Amino acid sequence: MRIADTEPGLTRTPERLPGWPGWSAFLGVADADPTWLTYSAARALVQTQGWTDARTYRARYREHVGLPQSPDRVYAEWTD
């Protein structure tokens, strides 16, 4: 049984409540505040590494600080 099922007033989806401050504030931890490389810098880095497909990017982006997991969601310049 889940705690939200046994505790009155608790919700399974607090992030949907009006005025929700975000998970970081709720949990009392600092925001991760990622600082991404610019699109041109990320593109140059990936090309320098010789990565030629999405599969390789997904497998290796963590090796470099500043590369987002989903560049298509981060960069407005993204085309494909």
Residue predicted with more confidence, 27 or 62: 62
Residues in the chain, how many?
80
Query: How far is the C-alpha of 71 from the C-alpha of 45, rounded, in Å?
Result: 13
pLDDT tens readout for residues 2-36: 655 677 777 888 888 888 888 878 888 776 666 89
Cα dihedral 51→56→62→66 (10° resolution): 40
pLDDT for residue 26: 82
